[in-house]
Amino acid sequence: MSEFTDFVSRAAVKASDEVHRRKIAKAIATYNTAVTNTKANQFSDWQKARSLAAEIKNYTLAHLADLLEQFEANFIARGGKVFWAATADEAADYVLQLAKERRVKKVVKSKSMTTEEIDLNEKLEHAGIAVRESDLGELIVQLAGEKPYHIVTPAMHKSKAEISALFQEKLEAPPTESAEELTMIARRHLREDYVTADIGITGANFIIADAGAIAMTENEGNGRLTMSCPPVHIVIAGIEKVIPRLTDLSLFLPLLATSGTGQEITCYNSIVFGPRRDNEDDGPEEMHVILLDNGRSLLYNRPHFREVLRCIRCGACLNACPVFRTIGGHTYNVTYQGPIGAVISPHYNGLPQYQHLAFASSLCGACSDVCPVHIDLHHLILENRVAAIRQVKQNSFWRVAMKMYGWTMRSRSRLNLMRGFMKLGQPFLFVLGKNRRKRVPELAAKTFAELWKENH
C-alpha cells in the first residue's frame, strides 16, 4: 500500500473513533482555556507581539548564514564543538561516531523533535546503545512502542488509565490513576539513568548568535538533568532555531510558552554557553552542537516557503486544526503533524509520497490565525496542493470533469442548470454512500439566491 492509501485508512479509523475524539477534545479544550487566559493577562497587544516576533525571525532569515557563523565562533571560543550536518544521516553518524569513540552503552535524551526527524533512537539502538527518554510524554510513547502523537505533547492521546496499564506492564508499577503518582513512578525509573548515562542528548528551542549559547525550555527539569549529569552533552537543532540576540528571548520565551501550553513562562528555562569550565563544579566535560539542515535550505530557497522557517514549534496550529483533531497525530505518519507538518513534510520527506498531506486541511485558516510568528500556513498548504496537482498525472476523465466543473461554476445560469440535473439524479445518489460512513447530503430545496429573493 502507498503512504496515501495508508493515510486514508488510518484517517477513516480515527475519524470514527469516538473515544479518541473525546480524549483529544478534552485535552485541547483545557489547552484553549489556558491559552486564552494567558494571552489576555500576559500580552497587552498579542497581534503586535507576534508581528514583532515575525520581524525578528525575518531579519534572522535574511542573515541566516552570518548569524549561524557568529554562534559557531562564540560557542567554539568557550570550548564547545559545532558540527554542520547537511542530512539526517550525517547528524546521526556524528552522534554514532562520538558514541563509538567513547564506548557508550547508554544515552539519556530529553524531548526533541529534531532527533525524531533523524530517527536517532532507532539508529542508536541498532548500534547496541540503550536510549532512555527522560521527558514523561516521550517515555510513555517509547514504552508503548509508538512515535510522538503531537510535537509538544507526545502522549496527548493516552488517558491516565492507559498510562497506568503501560507502567504496570513495562515498569512493574502498582496501579494508579493519579497524575502525581504516575509522574513519581517515571521519576523513580529515570533518576538512575541521568548519572549512569554516558551521553545526554537534547534539542534546543533557540540558538543565540550573539551569546554563542543555546536555550532550552521545558516543564519537568528532565532536560536540565539530561544536559548536566552525563560527561558529554550533544545538542541537535535545526538551523532555523537561531535568533540574533540574547535579549530576543524576552519575547520568544513567553510567546512560546503561551502558544505551546498556555503558560506565562515554562517552568525550566536553561541557557547553556558551553561545557563545564575549570572553575565550575558541574556540567558536561564536552558539549557538541549539531546544526541540522536536512531540507531546510531547500525551503529557504523556495521564496514562498521561506517564512515557514520562522516556526518555533509551539504546536498551536495542531491544536487549532479541525483535521488534526479528527484524525489524530499518528495518522500523518511523519515527525511534524498538523498544519505545520502538511507544509513542511512533503518538502522534507518527498512530495511524491507525502503530497496527500496538502489535502489534510479544510483551509479554514485557523492555523494561520493562532501562529505566534504569523506564518501564513493555510496558503502554504494551498501552494503544496497546487504542486501536488501539477505533479499527478491525472486521468482524462478527471481532467474533463474538472474542466466541466470550472466551466459550470463560472456562470450562475449554468450552475442553476446543473442543479436542475442534479435534482433529477438525486434519488440515485445513495449509491455513492453505500458502505461509507458518510451520508450523501441532500440538495437543499432552494438555493441561497432563491431564499434571498424570497426574504428581501
Draw the binding track, 212-251, toward ligand SF4 (x: CB under 6 A; -: no contact): ----------------------------------------
CB of 156 vs ligand SF4, minimal distance in Å: 14
Beta strands across the sheet bearing 206-208? 242-243, 206-208, 213-218, 268-272
- Residue whose grid cell is 546503545: 129
Residues paired with 391 in a beta bridge: none
| Options 141, 314, 323, 360; binder of ligand SF4; rule CB under 6 A | 314
Nearer to ligand SF4, 113 or 171 (CB): 113
| Options 236, 249, 311, 327; binder of ligand SF4; rule CB under 6 A | 311
Using CB under 6 A as the binding rule, whether residue 371 contacts ligand SF4 is answered as yes
CA distances from 219 to 88, 222, 226, 227 (A): 27, 8, 13, 15
Using CB under 6 A as the binding rule, whether residue 372 contacts ligand SF4 is answered as yes
Stretch that binds ligand SF4, among 22-30, 211-219, 270-278, 309-317 (CB under 6 A): 309-317
Instruction: Answer left, alpha or beta for residue 119, where phi above 0 means left and psi between -120 and 50 means alpha.
Output: left
Using CB under 6 A as the binding rule, whether residue 50 contacts ligand SF4 is answered as no
| Options 80, 315, 329, 346; binder of ligand SF4; rule CB under 6 A | 315
Residue 264, CB-side half-sphere exposure with 13 Å CA sphere: 5
CB atoms within 10 A of CB 454: 8
Nearer to ligand SF4, 200 or 372 (CB): 372
The CA distance from 127 to 96, in Å, is 8
Which of 324, 323, 338 lies closest to 377 in space, CA to CA?
338
CB of 366 vs ligand SF4, minimal distance in Å: 10
Nearer to ligand SF4, 259 or 263 (CB): 259
Torsion on CA atoms 221, 226, 228, 231, rounded to nearest 10:
170
| Options 143, 373, 380, 381; binder of ligand SF4; rule CB under 6 A | 373
CB of 374 vs ligand SF4, minimal distance in Å: 8
Give the dihedral sign, CA 273/274/279/282.
positive
Nearer to ligand SF4, 201 or 375 (CB): 375
Q: Which residues bind ligand SF4 (CB under 6 A)?
A: 259, 311-317, 340, 370-373, 375, 377
